[in-house]
Amino acid sequence: MLALLGLGATAIAAWFFVRYPKAAPADAGRLLAHLILAGMIIQFVVPTVIGRTGGSQVSTLAGIFGVGFPALVYCMLTGLWLLAWATRMLDRHG
């Protein structure tokens, strides 16, 4: 199940990356800010929200799909932005 969540988040992030290319950060500073924010959300916000769901299955699923899944999509999207930025930098200097 966890692998399917990761695959789904990656698919949505890839769709967003291709569909909205101008949404990518314009410079390295903004990209770094997105990477830090995505890491903070995944590391601190998601576990806090999931931990406070109360333990019922419905509230846990609501926490996973309401907070965890969107955070995972954002994390994957920032990873794609990083790969695109690194590719541009290599093309520029290569």
pLDDT band for position 94 (cuts 50, 70, 90)? low
pLDDT band at 2 (very low <50, low <70, confident <90, very high): confident
Sorted by where each begins, the domain ranges of the chain are 2-93
Contacts of 60 (CB under 8 A, 6+ apart): 50, 53
Torsion sign across C-alpha atoms 47, 65, 58, 3? negative
**46 CB-side CA count, 13 A:** 20
pLDDT in tens, 40-84: 999 999 999 998 988 789 999 999 999 999 999 999 999 999 999
pTM, to two decimals = 0.92
Q: Annotate 11-48 with DSSP letters as a single string.
A: HHHHHHHHH-GGGS-SSHHHHHHHHHHHHHIIIIIHHH
pLDDT band at residue 39 using 50, 70 and 90 as cut-offs: very high
State yes or no: pLDDT of 92 exceeds 90: no
pLDDT: is 4 or 53 the higher one? 4
